[in-house]
């Protein structure tokens, strides 16, 4: 880790966790298109070891749970980025929005353009035209690129996140728990179905709040538990994380779980526990697997991998379905799915590396620079300091002079919500 990342509070384990979650989405999506002969449920009527292995893969690499973990990680990372700086002033809100737009939109628009070109080649989805493309650019249509539904949630939650963070700073632990429960109530208030992309983000605000609390109160509470209790909670969360959303795979036998509203509260708790354990275990033996080269690499390209893998999958699935020996597939469906997974994974990773290096990284840096310029030239900073200086430079100073700057461990253990700052990619 570079000195700059250490100073800004960057946590490589959290980024790596997001990379593992993104890879889980890739795995599950590659298993779904070819599931006609091998249902992902134990009681689907299929016999033999392949259906069981298929279901276990869906549970271990659970794409639905992974997206929920994305939202919780975003809440934690955004809270660290803002730190203790004012967030509800017009300039601060503008700077925050600029960073989010430059972080999300450029790679997203490139993915939409590529998805549109592929749709014209495949003639799927039917009726995709210029209007569909335009609506997709503003996240009002997800037929060209299904993963965009989660980016719609990210953008919507980002707009109200400053309010969420500002309230959380003022109301203490009990107040934050009440706020968490209130946001949990929105899970059932937002209509389902049909999806209304204008308000769908409200259903997932509870996960952003859980991420915020994980980085402040959650870590402090976790450190008060005995090691045996921590492992028990983490085991419960890991099993529930993969299993709770996956019960839909039992089809009509457990139709109750087909409705996301019925398992989202439990999944929120599991994501909270997993995220807290990773934050509290930073640099320790239990998170060593998140410091491996593979995990770090997946973390760096996680956003591009999540965006572009479905486009790559649609291309190879079209080719795959035209040249597959279906008699062989019906005999060894899981083996054929693993071949598709290997091809899609390698191709998606190569494309994601290129997008990260030439689009995502430079434009994220531009957004950060523009946001910094907005902060430096904010009218409230001129009035309050009398000089052209960003307010964040005064965070750790007193009128009598500079004080000791808190260490990374001090910031992690601090109680106020969103205490430490950081440049974690989100």
- C-alpha 167/C-alpha 175 separation (Å) is 9
Q: Is residue 358 part of a domain?
A: yes
Q: Is residue 324 part of a domain?
A: yes
Q: Is residue 207 part of a domain?
A: yes
Burial of 338 (0-12, 13-18, 19+ CB in 10 A): middle
- C-alpha 32/C-alpha 269 separation (Å) is 26
Assess contact for 31 and 58: CB atoms under 8 A: yes
Q: What are phi and psi of 343, to 5 degrees?
A: -65, -45
Q: Is residue 302 part of a domain?
A: yes
Among 115, 25, 128, smallest CA distance to 344 is for 25
Give the pLDDT confidence score for residue 320 in this predicted structure. Answer: 78
Give CB contacts under 8 A, 24+ apart, made by 33-36.
Answer: 33/313, 33/317, 33/340, 34/317, 34/329, 34/333, 34/336, 34/337, 34/340, 35/333
Q: What is the span of the domain harbouring residue 317?
A: 3-393+405-413
Q: What string of H, E and C letters represents the secondary structure of 77-132?
A: HHHHHHCCCCCCCHHHHHHHHHHHHHHHHHHHHHHHHHHHHHHHHHCCCCCCCHHH
- C-alpha 244/C-alpha 64 separation (Å) is 10
Q: Count CA atoms closer than 13 A to 199's CA, side-chain side.
A: 10
- C-alpha 386/C-alpha 76 separation (Å) is 33
Assess contact for 20 and 298: CB atoms under 8 A: yes
Give the pLDDT confidence score for residue 324 in this predicted structure. Answer: 72
DSSP 3-state assignment of 227?
Answer: helix
Give the pLDDT confidence score for residue 230 in this predicted structure. Answer: 95
Q: Is residue 115 part of a domain?
A: yes
How many domains does one find in the chain?
1
Opening angle at CA 421, ends 90 and 71, nearest 5: 80
Q: What are phi and psi of 292, to 5 degrees?
A: -70, 160
Spell out a b/e string for 90-122, using b for 16 or more CB atoms within 10 Å of the CB, else e. Answer: ebbbebbbbbbbbbbbbbbebbbebbbebbeee
DSSP 3-state assignment of 291?
Answer: helix
DSSP state of 401: E
Give the pLDDT confidence score for residue 404 in this predicted structure. Answer: 45
DSSP state of 378: -
- In tens digits, the chain (426 residues) has pLDDT values of 444 454 445 799 999 999 999 999 999 898 876 555 444 444 444 556 777 777 788 788 988 899 999 999 999 999 988 877 777 788 888 999 999 999 999 999 999 999 999 999 888 787 889 999 999 999 989 999 999 999 999 999 999 999 999 999 889 999 999 999 999 999 988 887 666 778 889 999 999 999 999 988 999 999 999 999 999 999 999 999 988 776 554 444 344 456 778 889 999 999 999 999 999 998 899 899 999 999 999 999 999 999 999 999 999 988 877 777 777 777 777 788 888 899 999 999 999 999 999 999 999 999 999 999 988 887 766 554 444 443 333 333 333 333 444 444 444 444 444 444 444 666
Burial of 34 (0-12, 13-18, 19+ CB in 10 A): buried
Q: Residue 144 has which token pair?
A: 């060209």
Q: Is residue 205 part of a domain?
A: yes
Q: Is residue 421 part of a domain?
A: no
- C-alpha 426/C-alpha 410 separation (Å) is 23
Q: Is residue 418 part of a domain?
A: no
Give the pLDDT confidence score for residue 41 in this predicted structure. Answer: 45
């Amino acid at each position: 880790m570079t000195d700059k990342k250490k100073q800004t509070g960057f946590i490589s384990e959290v980024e790596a966790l997001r990379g593992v979650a993104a890879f889980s989405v890739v795995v599950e999506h590659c298993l779904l298109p070819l599931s006609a002969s091998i249902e992902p449920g134990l009681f689907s009527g299929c016999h033999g070891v392949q259906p069981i292995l298929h279901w276990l893969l869906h549970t271990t690499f659970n794409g639905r749970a992974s997206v929920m973990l994305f939202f919780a990680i975003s809440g934690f990372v955004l809270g660290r980025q803002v730190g203790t700086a004012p967030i509800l002033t017009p300039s601060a809100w503008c700077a925050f929005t600029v960073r989010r737009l430059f972080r999300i939109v450029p790679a997203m628009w490139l993915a939409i353009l590529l998805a549109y070109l592929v749709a014209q080649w495949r003639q799927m989805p039917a009726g995709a035209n210029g209007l569909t493309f335009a609506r997709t650019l503003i996240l009002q249509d997800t037929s060209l690129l299904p993963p965009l539904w989660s980016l719609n949630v990210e953008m919507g939650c980002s707009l109200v996140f400053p309010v969420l963070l500002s309230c959380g700073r003022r109301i203490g632990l009990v107040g934050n728990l009440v706020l968490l429960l209130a946001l949990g109530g929105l899970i059932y208030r937002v209509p389902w179905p049909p999806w209304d992309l204008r308000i769908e983000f409200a259903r997932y605000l509870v996960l952003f709040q859980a991420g915020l609390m994980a980085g402040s109160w959650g870590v402090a509470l976790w450190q008060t538990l005995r090691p045996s209790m921590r492992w028990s909670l983490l085991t419960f969360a890991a099993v529930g994380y993969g299993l709770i959303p996956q019960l839909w795979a039992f089809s009509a036998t457990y139709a109750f779980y087909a409705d996301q509203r019925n398992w989202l509260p439990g999944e929120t708790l599991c994501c909270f526990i997993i995220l807290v354990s990773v934050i509290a275990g930073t640099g320790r033996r239990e998170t060593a697997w998140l410091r491996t080269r593979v995990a770090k690499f997946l973390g760096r390209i996680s956003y591009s991998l999540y965006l572009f893998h479905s486009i790559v999958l649609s291309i190879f699935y079209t080719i795959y379905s035209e040249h597959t020996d279906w008699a062989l597939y019906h005999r060894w469906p899981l083996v054929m799915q693993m071949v598709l997974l290997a091809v899609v994974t390698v191709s998606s990773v190569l494309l994601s590396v290129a997008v990260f290096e030439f689009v995502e990284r430079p434009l994220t840096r531009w957004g950060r620079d523009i946001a910094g310029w907005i902060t430096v030239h904010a009218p409230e900073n001129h009035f309050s300091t009398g000089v052209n200086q960003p307010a964040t430079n005064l965070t750790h100073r007193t009128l009598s002079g500079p004080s000791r700057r808190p260490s990374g461990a001090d910031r992690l253990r601090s109680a106020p919500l969103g205490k430490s700052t950081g440049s974690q990619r989100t």
